[in-house]
């Protein structure tokens, strides 16, 4: 460098021009996909916390043996033999 020469950063564009701040189509698509993933993650977190707080609400009220005609509950294993 010579005396009196001003050092400027190479990352700053010369003059008053601003860099193009608009996103490309690929960046917009990626951004939308990430937002959708965060929404899906939020829904899953809420669902998991609801199951943890009240686990018996998500269980069905009927059992697997309710629909068997002519069999007592618990006799299903013996009918297979």
pLDDT band with cut points at 50, 70 and 90 for residue 41:
very high
Ranges assigned E (strand) in 20-62: none
Would the pLDDT of 81 be above 80? no
11 CA to centre of own chain = 36
DSSP 39: H
**Mean pLDDT over residues 4-11, rounded?**
59
- pTM, rounded to two decimals: 0.46
């Amino acid at each position: 460098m010579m005396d009196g020469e001003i050092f400027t950063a190479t990352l700053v564009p010369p003059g008053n021009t601003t860099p193009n701040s608009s996103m490309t189509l690929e960046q917009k698509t990626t951004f939308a996909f990430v937002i959708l993933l965060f929404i899906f993650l939020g829904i899953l977190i809420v669902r998991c916390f609801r199951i943890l707080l009240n686990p018996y609400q998500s269980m069905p009220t009927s059992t697997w043996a309710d629909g068997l005609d002519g069999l007592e509950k618990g006799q299903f294993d013996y009918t297979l033999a």
